[in-house]
Amino acid sequence: MKSPSIASLIACAALVVAAGTVDARRLEGVRMHDAPNYTRVVFDTSEAVSYELFTLTEPDRVVVDFKNVTPHASFDTSGSTRGQTRVKALRTSARGSDYRVVLDLAAPAQPKGFTLEPVAPHGHRLVIDLHGASSNSTARPAPPPPPARETNRDVVIAIDAGHGGEDPGAIGPGRVYEKHVTLSIAKKLAAKLNQTPGYRAVLVRSGDYYIPLRQRVRIARDQRADLFVSVHADAFPKPHITGGSVYTLSERGASSENARWLAEKENRSDLIGGVGDVPLGDKDDMLAHVLLDLSMSANRSASIEAGQYVLAQLGSIGKLHKARVEQAGFAVLKSPDIPSILVETGFISNPEEARRLNTESHQNRIVDALLRGIRNYMETNAPPGTLLAGGRGAGDVRYTIARGDTLSGIASRHGTSASRIRAANGLRGDVIRVGQTIVIPAG
């Protein structure tokens, strides 16, 4: 057999190297998330990539040139722009060893790009954020401006749907996504609060996009919220774990191993959601945040009290994972002047609980429980100048009945008598029902 020549061996080696280069960097997928003030375009890549990013006009478009990248056989752009308000179409073309992606825009936008290292459930990513006016500015309106602190104002409840966009949160059996469950519950709760006299709800996240943890706190503070409620439905390595929980911020350590594990997992959301190395504010803003953290001790007791009211109502609709309010270092709860709680509505890692969390009926039960807990806390601790504070006798409170409550027990906890409660509410006997709201007279 004739031996191969050196020239042919070199040629073969060159082909192998070339093939390896092509195979090493692949464009594997693309998806978009439309937020109120920007659109995020995410490209999944087989490894870190080099790229050039620039804009063109007439018509407006953004061009991404990937260097030494080829599309994977499964790379599919069809449907990637469906439902988007800023990106009308996505086009691609090979350019030698490079690959070009063109985003046709509905209006001018300023792109910002950054790459992300792998973090479960994602691999390498190139993120392009398109900042600019939406072509349909009424489709996803920003939250209304904060109310002036006049008298007889509504109390403001900031509702934070956990995760979103690139951060799916926990994924349960049957592909139940935490980010969808939390947004559905948050929207239902906001709607019911807005139907309740004396309350105004602000949704921190109103769609499927990611908001950095510190920015969620800032949104609540900008809206001058009186209470911050972050809604979650997390997972645990042991699938048999079930039940709802309520958490507040811990000054030192977590109150249990589960609380510590959960806080560490939640605080990784910025890595998954794709904050990258894009700054969230200047150094003065960062310094202010640190200084404000030092003033939080007085706010912790109010957060714990709010958590207790909400936990009691969660216990009225089903099993609790923990019978007390837990504490851990959740970054999203670090508001210095707003009582803040994180509610775990259940464990999406449990097959049966995941199924329930994905149903309208169970979500409605959770919403009703959260509503009762929030009302019980706010109407007991009505901020001065609010309709709730002005609509009752001095020292009177409103209380929503939870499962297991008795009239005598309620009276004992509030330092009054059952007969006075009956008189204040026109009750003929001691029969009360779960969900009923009563006035508890002072003294």
Structure tokens at 404: 């297991």
If you average pLDDT over residues 15-32, what whole number do you get?
67
Neighbours of 240 (CB within 10 A): 10
Cis status, amide bond into 4, omega within 30 of 0? no
| Residues 410/414/420/421 CA torsion (nearest 10 deg) | -40
- Alpha-carbon distance of 91 to 103, in angstroms, equals 7
The answer to whether 194 and 259 are in contact (CB under 8 A) is no
pLDDT at 4 over 60: no
The answer to whether 293 and 334 are in contact (CB under 8 A) is yes
Give the residues across from 188 on adjacent strands: none
- Alpha-carbon distance of 203 to 228, in angstroms, equals 10
Instruction: Indicate the pLDDT class of residue 157, thresholds 50, 70 and 90.
Output: very high
Domains and CATH numbers, the chain: 20-131 (2.60.40.3500), 155-380 (3.40.630.40), 392-440 (3.10.350.10)
User: Which residues have a Cβ under 8 Å from the Cβ of 172 and sit 6 or more positions away?
Assistant: 178, 235, 348, 349, 350, 351, 353, 354, 357, 358
The answer to whether 128 and 64 are in contact (CB under 8 A) is yes
In terms of Cα–Cα distance, which of 164, 136, 392 is closest to 266?
164
If you average pLDDT over residues 91-108, what whole number do you get?
94
If you average pLDDT over residues 55-72, what whole number do you get?
94
- pLDDT of res. 139: 39
If you average pLDDT over residues 346-371, what whole number do you get?
93
Total residue length of the chain:
443
pLDDT at 261 over 70: no
Distances (CA, A) of 274 to 41, 265, 310, 317, 381: 11, 15, 31, 36, 38
More confident residue, 97 or 12: 97
pLDDT at 135 over 50: no
If you average pLDDT over residues 357-376, what whole number do you get?
94
Decide the pairing of beta strands 245-249 and 340-344.
Answer: antiparallel
pLDDT at 23 over 60: no
pLDDT at 177 over 90: yes
The letter for the amino acid at 111 is P
Give the residues across from 327 on adjacent strands: 248
Structure tokens at 231: 């809604």
User: Which residues have a Cβ under 8 Å from the Cβ of 184 and sit 6 or more positions away?
Assistant: 363
pLDDT at 361 over 80: yes
In terms of Cα–Cα distance, which of 108, 105, 113, 110 is closest to 43?
113
If you average pLDDT over residues 359-373, what whole number do you get?
95
pLDDT at 212 over 60: yes
pLDDT at 283 over 50: no
- pLDDT of res. 426: 66
- pLDDT of res. 379: 84
- Alpha-carbon distance of 144 to 321, in angstroms, equals 36
pLDDT at 385 over 50: yes
More confident residue, 33 or 14: 33
Instruction: Indicate the pLDDT class of residue 428, thresholds 50, 70 and 90.
Output: confident
More confident residue, 253 or 333: 333
Q: Tokens 């280069």 belong to which residue? A: 21
If you average pLDDT over residues 262-285, what whole number do you get?
65
- pLDDT of res. 433: 81
- Alpha-carbon distance of 11 to 19, in angstroms, equals 12
Of all residues in the chain, what percent carry a pLDDT higher than 70?
A: 80
Helices 360-380 + 297-315 axis angle, to 10: 130
- pLDDT of res. 415: 79
- pLDDT of res. 358: 94
- pLDDT of res. 380: 84
If you average pLDDT over every residue of the chain, what do you get? Answer: 83
- Alpha-carbon distance of 247 to 260, in angstroms, equals 11
- Alpha-carbon distance of 210 to 163, in angstroms, equals 6
If you average pLDDT over residues 215-224, what whole number do you get?
93
- pLDDT of res. 70: 93
pLDDT at 52 over 80: yes
Burial class (CB in 10 A: 0-12, 13-18, 19+), 94: exposed
- pLDDT of res. 59: 94
- pLDDT of res. 443: 58
The letter for the amino acid at 269 is S
Neighbours of 307 (CB within 10 A): 26
pLDDT at 268 over 50: yes
More confident residue, 408 or 43: 43
pLDDT at 34 over 70: yes
Instruction: Indicate the pLDDT class of residue 20, thresholds 50, 70 and 90.
Output: very low
| Residues 164/167/173/175 CA torsion (nearest 10 deg) | 70
If you average pLDDT over residues 197-205, what whole number do you get?
94
Neighbours of 232 (CB within 10 A): 27
Instruction: Indicate the pLDDT class of residue 279, thresholds 50, 70 and 90.
Output: very low
pLDDT at 57 over 50: yes
Exposure string of 331-355, with b = 16+ CB inside 10 Å and e = fewer, is bbbbbbbbbbbbbbbbbbbbeebbe
3-state SS assignment for residue 318? coil
Structure tokens at 96: 């030698």
- pLDDT of res. 6: 53
